[in-house]
Chains A and B, each alone.
Chain A
């Protein structure tokens, strides 16, 4: 086996499929967020792999850096929403959040 681009892309595809499954099947809002993080990491692995193997340059790594920053911002806001949800409803199940105002 000679490690190349397809191997990294496969790892990315596995991570993405797992994240997608978590987002669609989990009810706990924090678990859904974990699925989103998995999908973002899958995209990042692909960005860096393409940057290394296909394109001559560093643009893919810069894209991955921006994705990391946006993921951090997204996690902060999403977890704040989860805490507000918990305070108002006493649960973190995404299905229970059906109204904008209590």
Chain B
């Protein structure tokens, strides 16, 4: 009984702010609603016995990605006058498509007889660490390379062009310094 109540609360904490994320006109409000959705998903992980993932979700998503998103929202302020007003025709086709996708997914979820087994609720951190160093060592290394590439790529994308130290900029500086 308490289990059900906890699940319902976590599901509401996940889904209701998700609606806010999607339908809010204010992008800052959407960002803060995303905070609650991500915390709710972390709670669902904990409910499912994935303790390591719950903590990872909180640290990486709430502590990292969300802060990044909110920084970007605040650095790219678009004045109200520049915001476009658009009619219903922009929302109807995506709404129909998303509803259709949800319908198909829900049909599959309810129609399939899932082969549900009993699972242990033992802590998973040890097992995840062992797996990462044995069966999943190649994806683990691959992901670290992806992270490095993403970090370098983001730094290159975001640099100021005029102070980038490119060949043109250096040549211009030399010409200016010559006389």
Interface residues of A (CB under 8 A from B): 1-11, 13-22, 24-28, 30-31, 33-35, 37-38, 41, 44-45, 48-49, 51-54, 56, 58-59, 61-62, 64-66, 68-77, 79-84, 86, 91-93
B27 adjacent to A28 (CB under 8 Å): yes
B131 adjacent to A34 (CB under 8 Å): no
The interface residues of chain B lying within 8 Å CB-to-CB of A44 are: 41, 53
Is B139 on the interface with A (CB-CB < 8 A)?
Answer: yes
The interface residues of chain B lying within 8 Å CB-to-CB of A8 are: 44, 48
| Chain B, interface SS category | helix
B11 adjacent to A53 (CB under 8 Å): no
Is B153 on the interface with A (CB-CB < 8 A)?
Answer: yes
The interface residues of chain B lying within 8 Å CB-to-CB of A92 are: 76, 78
The interface residues of chain B lying within 8 Å CB-to-CB of A10 are: 106, 109
Of the candidates A6, A13, A22, A62, which one forms a contact with B136 in the assembled complex, judged by CB atoms under 8 Å apart? A62
Of the candidates A13, A61, A71, which one forms a contact with B65 in the assembled complex, judged by CB atoms under 8 Å apart? A71
The residue among B53, B71, B128, B131 with the most chain A CB atoms within 10 A of its own CB is B53
A61 adjacent to B50 (CB under 8 Å): yes
